[in-house]
Amino acid sequence: MHAAFLDWDSLNGDELDRSQLDVLPLDWQYFSNINTTELEQTINDFDIVVSNKIILDQRLLALSHRLKYIAIAATGTNNVDLKTAADKKIVVSNVRGYATDSVVQHVFMLILNLMRRFTHYQNSLANNEWQNSEYFCLLTHPVESLSGKTLGIIGYGELGQAVAKIGECFGMNILIAQSLTDQNQSRERVPLAQVYAQADVISLHCPLTPDSYDLINRDVFAQMKDSAFLINTARGGMVNEQDLFLALQSGQIAGAALDVLSQEPPESTSMLIKKSLPNLIITPHIAWASRQARQCLLDKVAENIRSWLAGKTINQVN
């Protein structure tokens, strides 16, 4: 059987151990980042493909009469047309729980940077403000402690639960928002409006679906405290970026930290990047990407394929 990894370099794969893939009874081809034309020409050569972010839509899947299995090297499944795959009897699996530690650590890195005004003080140092101060410390930017702050979590799967646990360790009060789709809510969950109004920090951890698209918009910013921070390490499409820009520019909220944007990679003309807002931190979709997490991801992809080859499919999503 022939298999292809379609975007190997998206994992910076050369620093990882791929032996768990190579030991499988498959003839592998590793593409750095296959383009659409090449994929159209080669997709019918493979029984198995692995994709991190390469789009496998209805048109592409229709070109393949050989493909039997798609391994998504991620948790999100929006890069694969699951219905078309099911119609063609192509099994699709994803990987879960590989980057929890990495994402949670990144979330709190962002929260702490905002609360402790890290970027502001780095800029102050670069501008010689401390060096020229008459005092032993510089207190030109207000610094806050996490203890006693309220952390609102939207999306309470594995990541949301792990973020809540660490928030509790910092002494934060936790508000868990009601699910956007599940009507069988536990009593510990609260309405979204309560999270918006009461949280000092809101952290997003739900998948991008029609229910969550543009979830955080001007109406939400109007409900939030002017001292509140927004953290998004989930998917960019959940936040209306125009509305966020205006909320940050006007001081309607205190700040935001984003690891994801609606377009990735973004255009250099993106207002959130071009304007360099002092109360905005952007990282380039790296919350998930510790070396340990990427290795775990690769090993779990191999496990998914191994199980499917043995007739015991796991983590199927279609």
Dist. CA 309–CA 248, nearest whole Å: 51
Dist. CA 84–CA 37, nearest whole Å: 20
Check residue 253 and give its pLDDT.
Answer: 98
Of 38, 168, 264, 267, which one is the catalytic site residue?
Answer: 264
Residue 285 annotated as catalytic: yes
Check residue 185 and give its pLDDT.
Answer: 67
Check residue 183 and give its pLDDT.
Answer: 65
**CATH superfamily of the domain spanning 100-282:** NAD(P)-binding Rossmann-like Domain (3.40.50.720)
Check residue 215 and give its pLDDT.
Answer: 97
- Can you give the length of the chain in residues? 318
Residue 129 annotated as catalytic: no
Domain 2-97+291-309 and domain 100-282 have a common topology: yes
Of 120, 205, 235, 294, which one is the catalytic site residue?
Answer: 235
Check residue 184 and give its pLDDT.
Answer: 65
Show me where the domains of the chain are located.
2-97+291-309, 100-282
Of 106, 120, 285, 294, which one is the catalytic site residue?
Answer: 285
Beta carbons of 67 and 49 less than 8 angstroms apart: yes
Residue 264 annotated as catalytic: yes
Burial 157-173 (b: 16+ CB within 10 A, else e): ebbbebbbebbeebebe
Check residue 289 and give its pLDDT.
Answer: 95
Helices of type H across 116-240 = 118-126, 158-169, 192-198, 218-223
pTM score: 0.89
| 262-to-214, 272, 286, 299 alpha-carbon distances in Å | 10, 11, 15, 29
**CATH superfamily of the domain spanning 2-97+291-309:** NAD(P)-binding Rossmann-like Domain (3.40.50.720)
Q: Among candidates 200, 205, 143, which has minimal Cα distance to 174?
A: 200
| 189-190 vs 91-93, strand pairing mode | unpaired
User: Element (H or E) spanning 106, and its range?
Assistant: helix 100-115
Q: Among candidates 231, 276, 229, which has minimal Cα distance to 258?
A: 231
Check residue 180 and give its pLDDT.
Answer: 87
Task: Tell me the average confidence (pLDDT) per consecutive run of 10 residues in the chain, 318 residues long.
Answer: 97 95 97 96 96 96 96 92 97 96 98 95 93 94 96 95 98 95 76 97 93 96 98 96 97 97 92 91 96 97 98 96
